[in-house]
Structure 1
Amino acid sequence: MNKHFNCIGIVGHPRHPTALTTHEMLYRWLCAKGYEVMVEQQIAQELNLKQVKTGTLAEIGQQADLAVVVGGDGNMLGAARVLARYDIKVIGINRGNLGFLTDLDPDNAQQQLADVLEGHYITERRFLLEAQVCQHDTPTRLSTAINEVVLHPGKVAHMIEFEVYIDEIFAFSQRSDGLIISTPTGSTAYSLSAGGPILTPSLDAITLVPMFPHTLSARPLVINSSSTIRLRFSHMRSDLEISCDSQIALPIQEGEDVLIRRKVAMLAQLTISNFAIVRELEIDFHHGMTAITGETGAGKSIAIDALGLCLGGRAEADMVRSGANRADLCARFSLKDTPAALRWLEENQLEDGSECLLRRVISSDGRSRGFINGTSVPLSQLRDLGQLLIQIHGQHAHQLLLKPEHQKTLLDGYAGEQALTQQMAERYREWHQSCRTLAQHQQLAQERSAKAELLHYQLKELNEFSPVAGEFELIDEEYKRLANSGQLLSTSQQALDVLADAEETNLQSQLYTVRHLMGELVGMDNKLSGVLDMLEEAAIQISEASDELRHYCDRLDLDPNRLYELEQRISRQISLARKHHITPEELPAFHQKLLDEQQLLDEQTGSLEELLQAVAQHHQQALAVALALHQSRVKHADELCQLITESMHSLSMPHGKLAIDVEFNENHLTAEGADRIDFRVSTNPGQPLQPLAKVASGGELSRIALAIQVITARKMETPALIFDEVDVGISGPTAAVVGKLLRQLGESTQVMCVTHLPQVAGCGHHHFFVSKETDGEMTETHMQPLDKRSRLQELARLLGGSEVTRNTLANAKELLAA
């Protein structure tokens, strides 16, 4: 179901007769239908409308749900560039020549608009291009375009020489009269006239169309809309310009580049439930600078704290609202123009279109869970994704500025050498790992030496004894036989006598007698023949047993020397086995085990010399990257010093000067390089440069920190920046400068600023007021957007305290008009 509208803005051509007629018709028709109508100031003046709600384009963007643009495509472009920062839909009534962007026919506008107001419409989303003229990658001038950004000479046409880089990769160099960089919306405008292709409006692409190229090979180029285009000039002339939609011209000076990219994404909505003293809160955010103010203790930073938790911050049980079971926090981001975040979501299989939902649930017992697009994730993933979405600059950032490691982080953030710093960390890890391998090898070498010595001792006596598998059982048996040979011979002879050798009586002779008797009985009764057969068999067995026993006695050895040898061998084997805590039978296998260990020690590879070479090689590689990082830091330190010094002058430190010392020491190599970074400052004439902690006062330190944050933020590609009371210690004209800096930053990215200064709050494109109320038992925080009238009241309160007077209201109007 499409959104229905409550407040409708009327904007467009302020002087064209037919356009004015349509403006007046629209105003009266919409008022008659009961809508709240807001008319652009110039149009209201031309129509001489009385008692009508008027406002600038920005104010209409803040307060209206729908803007109706009456005029031609130029009016539509101019209005849309401003209104794109706000949550507002835009539709056009054609009172121009072509009407590519203005959808409604003026002759049938009422009926068509009535259908739209009833919710019968289709929303088309068109992306904008952002053009920045940069000095050392720091934007000095910028604007946006819906149709195209055009590089061209100033007043006199002439050939331009320039280089084109796409995502920092050289694409081509060209000599031509200029270059048109167009959106799909603009592909039917100036780009078409120059021979560019027509693109479907919803296509995520950008076209580069040369203007009268001085070569036959130049052709239009279509690239992904997520790409960044950089224009560099080798032979610079002073009259080059960048124009946006043929309405805004940005001059290009010597040494400046031009960056053109799709306008970045943003934090769209924050929902808070049962957090701190907030019961329920839903905040819709918009492009540009948003100021957040309120009374002391009202909870101005609660929204920032809640957002920090959505990004993986540490949770505590006392963050849950008293009496509630859990706090539920949810941040919704529009990621259409944030390829790094979209790529991260895709790599982690968490993508869900061009929006992203970060959620944090905190139980009253202190446990918490994190979610990305409805999937439960570890907090580390919330933090990883959060770094791609938002930078939060806290109110204590000026204290962090005193720490050398934070100074290094700031310098690296400005330099933008992510690839080099990542390479440094990898090279250091390789070197550190090779050092650990060497240390382990040296440790093992010592252990191997001790092991080899022990093996040598153990194997010396085992080798001398030379145990053989199965030997112990054999010699033990032989020993028992020899040790009992006398008894064996005597008893064997006695047995032999009983069997056959006794002269008087023996088994053999007695069996002979029995056999003779049984032979007579068989002659009388044949049934006894079986008994006779058995006796015959027994006679044979006794005869054979007697022969075998006689042979045994003849062979029985009574050698005492052999007995002594066996006794010594067995005794030695038992002694060695007991020494190694094994059985005698296990001694041969144990001997073989020690032999195998000795062979393994002898065969181990990876000599000390090879490892030493690897350590030296990795150290040199790490040093080479550290040196490249050092050179980059030195270069960017000079640029950053100049920019910060200029900002210090504008922030009421006219004699201020900042220097950044980058000292290279190869003996202090870390994963961040081999540099010691030291920010030094002088705030008064004749004062030498000294470390920040020794020179800068609290107020001066706050201003320096703020200048650095604003400058480095311009180099980042995160969609949103948050400044939480970073203007502490600043007042008066300096505060006005800070506000303008933040507003300028808000032209190219989303900025949220918690402040207590009216000069800063008055510079915002949007303004939220934070208040709290209590019923005597419970306290609750509210946060609401301010319209123009409410905003004047809040600025007047900030200027004069709780009592708002005519003077403070007049001053507040001046702040908004500045």
Structure 2
Amino acid sequence: MLRALEIRDMLIIERLELEFQPGLNVLTGETGAGKSILLDSLGFVLGWRGRAELVRSGAEQGEVIAEFELPEGHAAWSVLEEAGLPASDELILRRVNTKDGRKTGWVNDRRVSGEVLRRLSETLVELHGQHDDRGLLDPKGHRAILDLYADAGPAQAEVRRAWRAMGAARKALDAAQAALEAVRAEEEFLRHAVDELDKLGPVEGEEAELDARRRTMQAAEKIRDDIGQASSALGYDGAEGAMANALRWLDGAAEKAEGRLDAPIGALTRAMAELDEAARGVADCLEALEFNPADLDDTEERLFAIRGLARKHQVMPDELAGLAADLSERLAALDAGEARIGGLRADLKAAEAGYDAAAEALSALRREAAGRLDVAVAGELAPLKMERAVFHTAVSEGPAGPEGRDMVAFTVATNPGAPAGALNKIASGGELSRFLLALKVCLTEAQGRGATMIFDEIDRGVGGATADAVGRRLKALSEGGQVLVVTHSPQVAALGGHHWRVSKRVEGEMTLSEVLPLAVGDREDEIARMLSGDVVTSEARAAARALLKA
């Protein structure tokens, strides 16, 4: 609920402080007195886009402060939380406009953007009038209005979920098809490469092992002859045989040498043992260097094959095994691609069927609610002296989307047999006002009362009993909530629970606007003025008293 509005230096308002109340608040005054300036100022602090120049002539800046009362659970709480702003049951909006055009806004003393103010305004205030392009006259919002009337939240959530699932299924299928096409383009290469790698069967670390073995065999060829000759020189036909003969000859002479050969014989015996160890070592080496020449050829052939394939695929030899596994997987994906795509197509078909079912359920809910809304509006039009007019909520098929596949438009026919058309195209000013009021009454009954409702001269073009019916509908709307009405109708003004008169005065060469709350006696004078014009007659006063007592 809007509790207070403070305006400083805006257009022709120097300073103004208003305290609004629950129920029906009416603002009256002569044309040009400044009633629209109040709405412009309120729209400014709410972040609405309006007049470019609002600062009063001669002032450095204009300022508007609006104070709202937020009951528990009000939609504004979630906007404040999302924006990281402090929240309480009191909400104070403040916005300043400098004379050079800069605009700055605050919410509970925290600086905010115009976008945050606009998002808050959507929960705080509803403006309705003949030139309202933000509410009921905007066809783009008719579907959302019908959904609120139908309480379609759960059905909408199911449609959005089904739409997301369908999008995910389509994305998965498209990705799989694109991947399959990419693999198909290299199918011939894959089959040849996988066959070639499978035949070779490279193993990680194998290239280094083959290279070491090849070097060993190549070295063996070069040194084996020398080692063989050394083995022969150490053998019986060489050093071993000579030393054995020498030892045998010395043993035969030792008895007659009186001990002089004992040391040489011991040294020679030890030398024979060392010679035997050396000969065994050389023989072991020869045995280790023994290989089949074909082994060298086989080793070199496999080593060169591994290195050649690595160069062909531009990888390191040790990476061939991993490459083989990767290419095999890609080939397997190609072979299994059609089967997988078939499964993904089935998933998409199931997701589409799920969306169709959810969308059709939402459409059925909308069609049923449209019928109820048409009946409800027709019931409201009769007291507004439009019983021959026809209101119709047209639900037609449109492009599919996350909100379903329905287009919704509120259409009217002002006379039986006349073609139906859009609200703002068919109805005259007075008819349009009554259509909007009837529709708002029905929607408010279904949706409950949340935001402050403002009606800007919605009673224009009507009078007498029709104006009284309009006023009574506005009063009904205000019960349990708050309605602000800018009106020229005395019948509507008389039904207000709270009444302000807007007037202007001239001080020097400056025109200023002021707004005064009216007591009971003052209300009688104002309504009499609305009835009779500049000269208030006794008959007008009597009629005003009758309206106030009605």
Give per-residue Cα distances to partners, 1:470-513, cap 9 Å, x unaligned: 1111112223344555434467679x59x979x999xxx9xxxx
Q: Equivalent pairs: percent with the same residue?
A: 28
* TM superposition shift of 1:583: 1.1
Can you give the 5+ residue segments of structure 2 that lack an aligned partner in the other structure? Answer: 244-266
Match of 1:620 in 2: 357
The verdict on how the C-alpha distance between 1:299 and 1:794 changes in structure 2, with shifts beyond 3 A counting, is same
Q: In the aligned structure 2, how far is the partner of 1:564 from the partner of 1:478? A: 11
Equivalent position to 1:292, from 27, 46, 51: 27
1:577 correspondence with 2:310: yes
2:484 is the alignment partner of 1:752:
yes
**1:784 aligned to 516, 519, 540, which one?**
516
Larger radius of gyration: 2
Distance in 2 between the 1:316 and 1:558 partners?
101
1:635 and 2:368 aligned = no
Question: 1:565 matched to which residue of 2?
Answer: 298
Q: Output the CA distance in 1 between the equivalents of 2:271 and 2:107.
A: 96
Q: Distance in 2 between matches of 1:465 and 1:389?
A: 76
Distance in 2, matches of 1:449 and 1:500, equals: 73
1:701 equivalent to 2:432? Answer: yes
Q: Structure 1, unaligned stretches of length 5 or more?
A: 1-265, 510-532
Aligned mates of 1:739, 1:327 — CA distance in 2: 33
CA spacing shift, 1:378–1:599, aligned 2, 3 Å: farther
Give the SS at the match of 1:291.
strand
Change (3 A) 1:748 1:470: closer
Equivalent in 347, 350, 356 of residue 90 of structure 2: 356
Match for residue 498 of structure 2? 766
Q: Does 1:805 align with 2:535?
A: yes
**Displacement of 1:426 after TM fit?**
1.0
**Partners of 2:12 and 2:305 in 1: CA distance:** 87
Structure 1 residues 756 and 285, CA gap change in structure 2 (3 angstroms)? same
Higher strand share: 1
Contact residue 317 and residue 366 of structure 1 kept, 8 A: no
Report the alpha carbon displacement of residue 799 of structure 1 after superposing the two structures with TM.
Answer: 6.2
Distance 1:470-1:395 versus aligned 2 partners, 3 A rule:
same
**Aligned in 2, Cα 1:474/1:732: closer, same or farther, shift over 3 Å?**
same
Match of 1:87 in 2: none
TM-score of the pair, normalised by structure 1? 0.51
What's 1:742 paired with?
A: 474
Shift in Å, 1:678: 4.5
1:769, CA displacement in angstroms? Answer: 3.2
In 2, distance between residues paired with 1:625 and 1:399? 25
Paired amino acid for 2:67: A
Deviations 1:501-553 (A, max 9, x none): 9x999xxx9xxxxxxxxxxxxxxxxxxxxxxx9xx999999986775455444
The residue aligned with 1:9 is none
Compute the displacement of 1:622 (Å). Answer: 3.6
**Cα distance in 1 for residues equivalent to 2:32 and 2:489:** 16
Q: Which has the higher contact order (CA 8 A, sep 6+)?
A: 2
* Post-superposition CA distance 1:238-259 (Å, at most 9, x none): xxxxxxxxxxxxxxxxxxxxxx
CA displacement at 1:773 relative to structure 2? 6.7
AA at the equivalent of 1:717: G
Alignment of 1:299-310 (within 5 A): 299-305=34-40, 307-308=42-43
1:282 maps to 2:12: no
Partners of 1:490 and 1:780 in 2: how far apart?
124
Give CA deviations for 1:141-190 in whole Å, capped at 9, x if unaligned.
Answer: xxxxxxxxxxxxxxxxxxxxxxxxxxxxxxxxxxxxxxxxxxxxxxxxxx
Is 2:127–2:135's contact at 8 Å kept on the other side of the alignment? no
1:426 counterpart SS class:
helix
CA deviation profile, 1:756-800 (whole Å, cap 9, x unmatched): 455544443322234567878998654332334554565566667
Q: CA deviation at 1:657?
A: 1.4
Once the two structures are TM-superposed, the CA of residue 435 in structure 1 deviates from its matched residue by: 1.2
- Asked if 1 retains the 8 angstrom alpha-carbon contact of 2:373 and 2:393, the reply is no
* Deviation (angstroms), 1:457: 5.4
Aligned partners of 1:763 and 1:815 also within 8 Å: no
Asked whether the 8 Å contact 2:124–2:450 carries over to 1, the reply is yes
TM-score by length of structure 2 reads 0.71
Separation in structure 1 between the aligned mates of residue 389 and residue 52 of structure 2, nearest angstrom: 46
Say if 2:105 and 2:113, in contact at 8 Å, map to a contact too.
no
Which of 582, 587, 591 is the aligned partner of 2:320?
A: 587
- Give the drift of 1:268: 2.7
Q: Distance in 2 between matches of 1:744 and 1:681?
A: 24
CA contact (8 A) 1:713 1:721 kept: no
**Cα pair 1:309 1:360 within 8 Å, conserved:** no
Of 159, 170, 173, 1:442 maps to 173
Measured in 1, the distance between the counterparts of 2:303 and 2:443 equals: 86
Could you tell me how far apart the structure 2 residues matched to 1:577 and 1:360 are?
Answer: 73
- Asked whether the equivalents of residues 64 and 95 of structure 2 are also in contact (C-alpha less than 8 Å), the reply is yes
- How far apart are 1:718 and its partner, in Å? 1.8
**Alpha carbon RMSD of aligned pairs, Å?**
5.2
Return the offset for 1:318. 6.5
SS in 2 for 1:764: coil
| Separation (CA, whole Å) in 1 of partners of 2:204 and 2:400 | 59
- CA distance in 1 between partners of 2:477 and 2:292 (Å): 111
Which residue identity is paired with 1:356? E
How far residue 272 of structure 1 moved from its aligned partner, in angstroms, is 4.5
> How many angstroms does 1:432 deviate by?
0.8
> Match for residue 38 of structure 1?
none
Equivalents in 1 of 2:457, 2:290: separation in Å?
Answer: 108
Match of residue 649 from structure 1: 385
Partner Cα distance (1:765, 1:537) in 2 = 135
Q: Alignment length, in residue pairs?
A: 509
Are 1:398 and 1:702, in contact at CA under 8 Å, matched by a contact in 2? Answer: no
State the alpha-carbon separation in 2 of the partners of residues 710 and 367 from structure 1.
36
SS at match of 1:396: coil
Give the whole-Å Cα distance in 1 for the aligned partners of 2:298 and 2:196.
18
CA spacing shift, 1:550–1:380, aligned 2, 3 Å: farther
Residue identity matched to 2:518: L
CA contact (8 A) 1:739 1:759 kept: yes
Contact 1:315 1:366 in 2 (8 A): no
